[in-house]
Amino acid sequence: MKATLNNVFALGILALACQTAYGKTIEYTTDIAVVGGGSVGLAAAVTGAEAGAKVIVVEKNPYLGGSSNFAEGLFAVESDYQRAKSYGLTRDQAYEHIMEYSHFKNDGAIEREFVDESADNLRWLNKHGVDFEVVQISPKEPETWHLIKNREHFVHGAALVTALQEHAEKDGVQFLMRTPANTLIYENGKVTGVKAKDHKGNDIVIHAKAVIIGTGGFGNSPEKIDKWTHFDGKDFKPTLPLNKTGDGIEMGREIGAAHEGETLMLHPGTDGKGIIPLGNIYTMTWQPANMWVNAHGNRFVDETVAFSFAHAGNAIGRQKGHYAWAIFDDAELQHAKNDGVDNGVGVLVPVMTKLKNIDTEIKNALAANSESFKSASSIEQLAKAIDVPVANLKHAYDSYNLAATTHYDEAFNKDRMWTRPLNHGRLYAVKLMPYHFTSVGGLRINTQMSVVNTDDNPIKGLYAGGNDVGGIYSDTYTLWASGHAFGFATYSGRKAAQNALEYIKTGK
């Protein structure tokens, strides 16, 4: 009896394994197939469904939203929120600045349409239950960042994601979760669907009249970062593990799509033994009154670059070893504890947040002998602790304190407001490393969000948006236009669906 039961159990396990390894082929037919359930995909799905189209969304993760769940605000110009505050930045001014910032390496026609329609994009989201508050993210950016207001218990990006999800479900959009797409169906010069595999091992074949790609980039693939950008995928780390591995871009490239502009949205950060992600020590890496030095013990930049996180990531990333050190003293420590920080980490750690746990975190990091946090009673001792030449660091330190005293930073012209002497009590050093929020750049598109081939001809039936497309930025994210990536994601998803509907109707 026992042997029989064992045999039955073994057969059951074998059957389950066979079902997983040799799953069925399941076929669907739809008007629009959307690859990726983030803000691109949700905006596209809602737009398509509201127009009467049948829409299927395939999402590789067990949840919707992707990185949009953690994003905070959207770019817009001449919005109702700005108008209510009598804020005068115009679309023309914003467009001109963005183009000059990008050195005209972006697609001017796509950028123009996005800027011009950015306020309408917010109005569309308003109608779908998303509300905003316009804020200025730092002294170096204009007031274009429209922070998403919480919905019930959903915060920021998650509030937008859940609002669009509710509308999509109400309008009959079908979601296939834990189902990563892997191949576009490309026949007779046009895309007619997509293939995927679900978590049970079933092969999913979706026959569609149009396909929209919005898989969120390739930021969690060190291999693609190495292959597609000039960055080292080992040293330039993603902020969050969101399974963004460039699937949509890869599928497009496999059928001859052109690509351009692959890079990373960098920012400063730190990690190491005893250091809490986005904790108090981490937040000190974003503060403008620190002194930054590289592996040689030399200053290399005006440290107020911390206000522009993408620029700060660039400055750190180009140093030897792709790292630097931020140095501060007890006076800055007390300032952060009692008065609050001068530069927030988005709204996760708002400006003027008081770092009440900093003493405990410092104690724990030092007790762990953290490789990324050191303290000393003199600059000479600190130089030894962070392994930089003593003479170089002493010179940088003395010169910096002189600049603070004379109110003039001859080396890098740092604003005297942020050049404060570092000669109060103990000194601290936290290692600065380049992280990235997301990748940007990918498939080349036109103003209809249609993916084009290497001859710049549209690939019929294929559209893309968000961080899967190129031509939107140059080598650095357009931080001046705060919220640009999130705003463009929802805009491009809607635009792609509108043009996919027209293509389905007319064949053009």
Distance, CA of 385 to CA of 94 (rounded, Å): 46
- Confidence band of 14 (pLDDT split at 50, 70, 90): very low
Structure tokens at 460: 């019929």
* Confidence at residue 22, expressed as pLDDT on a 0 to 100 scale: 63
Q: Which residues pair with 36 in a beta bridge?
A: none
Quick check: 295 pLDDT over 60? yes
Q: Are 210 and 504 in contact (CB under 8 A)?
A: yes
Residue whose pair of structure tokens reads 């590789």 in the numeric block:
60
Distance, CA of 309 to CA of 125 (rounded, Å): 27
pLDDT tens for residues 24-59?
999 999 999 999 999 999 999 999 999 999 999 999
First to last CA, the chain: 68
Quick check: 8 pLDDT over 70? no
Quick check: 72 pLDDT over 70? yes
* Confidence at residue 124, expressed as pLDDT on a 0 to 100 scale: 98
pLDDT tens for residues 461-484?
999 999 999 999 999 998 899 999
User: pLDDT above 70 covers what percent of the chain?
Assistant: 96
Quick check: 427 pLDDT over 80? yes
Structure tokens at 354: 């008081």
Quick check: 158 pLDDT over 50? yes
Q: In sequence order, what are the residues at sequence separation of 6 or more whose Cβ sits closer than 8 angstroms to the Cβ of residue 204?
A: 26, 27, 28, 58, 176, 179, 195, 196, 197, 198
Quick check: 142 pLDDT over 60? yes
Q: Which residues pair with 266 in a beta bridge?
A: 436
Which of 2-11, 105-114, 129-138, 333-342 is least confident?
Answer: 2-11
Distance, CA of 355 to CA of 340 (rounded, Å): 7
**Domains defined for the chain, CATH in brackets:** 25-258+444-506 (3.50.50.60), 266-435 (3.90.700.10)
- Confidence band of 17 (pLDDT split at 50, 70, 90): very low
* Confidence at residue 294, expressed as pLDDT on a 0 to 100 scale: 98
Quick check: 346 pLDDT over 70? yes
Mean pLDDT of the chain: 94
- Confidence band of 176 (pLDDT split at 50, 70, 90): very high
Q: Which residues pair with 197 in a beta bridge?
A: 203
How would you class 268 by CB atoms within 10 Å of its CB: exposed for 0-12, middle for 13-18, buried for 19 or more?
Answer: buried
Quick check: 400 pLDDT over 90? yes
* Confidence at residue 15, expressed as pLDDT on a 0 to 100 scale: 36
Quick check: 447 pLDDT over 60? yes
* Confidence at residue 276, expressed as pLDDT on a 0 to 100 scale: 96
- Using alpha carbons only, how large is the chain's radius of gyration in Å? 25
Q: Which residues pair with 205 in a beta bridge?
A: 27, 195
Closest-CA residue to 57 (of 143, 187, 171, 144): 171
Q: Are 231 and 53 in contact (CB under 8 A)?
A: no
* Confidence at residue 94, expressed as pLDDT on a 0 to 100 scale: 97
